[in-house]
Amino acid sequence: MQEKELKALVSLLDDDDLQVVSHVEGKILSIGKDVIPFLEHEWESNLNPKVQNRIEELIHTLQYDLLRERLKDWYNGKEQDLLTGMWILATYQYPDLELEKLKQDLEQIYYETWLEFRPDLYPFDQVKVINSVLFSKLKFGANTKNFHSPGNSMINVVLESRKGNPITLCVIYMLVAQKLKLPVHGVNLPNLFILTYKDDNHQFYINAFNRGLIFSKQDIENYIHELHLVPQSSFFEACSSLEIVRRALRNLVMSFEKIGEHAKADEVKVLLVEISDGGDLGV
């Protein structure tokens, strides 16, 4: 469709006949994501608040459809790369965010850690080096003041602000540790996401939300007992990238509901259903 025709369609968004507007919106949406730059330009140059609002809704719909498409491709792919999954989640709020930017930010954190890291160290000491760099030098930490902020689930926001929730802090920690060739993985504990360091000779746990506190299997058993839950193997063993992204999406739903953004919460629930086996939302 030529620009002249697109401009004519956008001008009809001002029509008082809602049937006309609905038809025009359907026509614009049928073009797909390639029309987004044009709509953004039209939004900037249009001084009619009603038209601007309708353009905003069209852009959001197109961006949301693109996110759903990316997420389905990620879910159906063999690799299910964790950083890619977290990037797709973050594009819900930051549609122009580039995966390459996240990779560069993480590469810088890895480099800062690598400078102080020694592969010959005992596992506890290896973890202490990562803790020192992430939490003391780079000042990453728990966002306890604004725990329910949706930004806590957005890896780009956490990389910039250095404050996050248990999942995003663990993801950053884990990606850096794995790049250092350490056997560090996520663990899906109830009410708290943690990490485990596990090789043939050692297994212990790391709480990235508490500055990398190291603890044992017995500590987890005590925690489960306090919650009056029946112990499950999933509380002690590594989980998949898919499970991490699902949990991050559940956190995002809760964040939006806490701040009264119910329409956004509903949209994220749709994303969660699409990557949940058999439509099961989990716990």
Confidence (pLDDT) at 156: 98
Domain ranges, residue 168: 82-279
Domain stop point among 60, 76, 92:
76
Q: Are residues 53 and 122 in the same domain?
A: no
- pTM of the predicted model over 0.85: yes
| Pairwise CA distance, residues 48 & 9, whole Å | 15
Whether the pLDDT of residue 52 is over 90: the answer is: no
List of residues 6+ apart from 9 with CB closer than 8 A: 24, 27, 28
Q: Are residues 140 and 237 in the same domain?
A: yes
Whether the pLDDT of residue 116 is over 60: the answer is: yes
Confidence (pLDDT) at 142: 96
Mean pLDDT, range 110-124, rounded to an integer: 96
Confidence (pLDDT) at 280: 41
Query: What are the structure tokens assigned to 89, written together?
Result: 């989640």
Mean pLDDT, range 148-155, rounded to an integer: 95
Query: What are the structure tokens assigned to 230, written together?
Result: 């029946």
Mean pLDDT, range 77-105, rounded to an integer: 97
Question: How many structural domains is the chain composed of?
Answer: 2
Mean pLDDT, range 177-200, rounded to an integer: 96
| Pairwise CA distance, residues 232 & 91, whole Å | 33
Q: Are residues 56 and 156 in the same domain?
A: no
Q: Are residues 41 and 111 in the same domain?
A: no
| Pairwise CA distance, residues 145 & 125, whole Å | 30
Minimal CA–CA distance to 214: which of 135, 145, 276, 124? 124
Query: Pick the residue with more confidence: 29 or 244?
Result: 244
Q: Are residues 89 and 196 in the same domain?
A: yes
Find the range with the poorest average confidence among 29-38, 112-121, 244-253: 29-38
Whether the CA torsion 175, 177, 182, 184 is positive or negative: it is negative
Q: How confident is the model at residue 16 (pLDDT cuts 50, 70, 90)?
A: confident
Q: Are residues 35 and 126 in the same domain?
A: no
Domain stop point among 76, 106, 133:
76
Query: Pick the residue with more confidence: 55 or 82?
Result: 82
Domain stop point among 19, 46, 76:
76
Confidence (pLDDT) at 278: 57
Confidence (pLDDT) at 283: 34
Whether the pLDDT of residue 213 is over 70: the answer is: yes
Q: What percent of the chain has pLDDT over 70?
A: 98
Q: How confident is the model over 161-187, as pLDDT tens digits?
A: 999 999 999 999 999 999 999 999 999
Whether the pLDDT of residue 276 is over 60: the answer is: yes
Minimal CA–CA distance to 60: which of 74, 79, 39? 39
Q: Are residues 48 and 161 in the same domain?
A: no
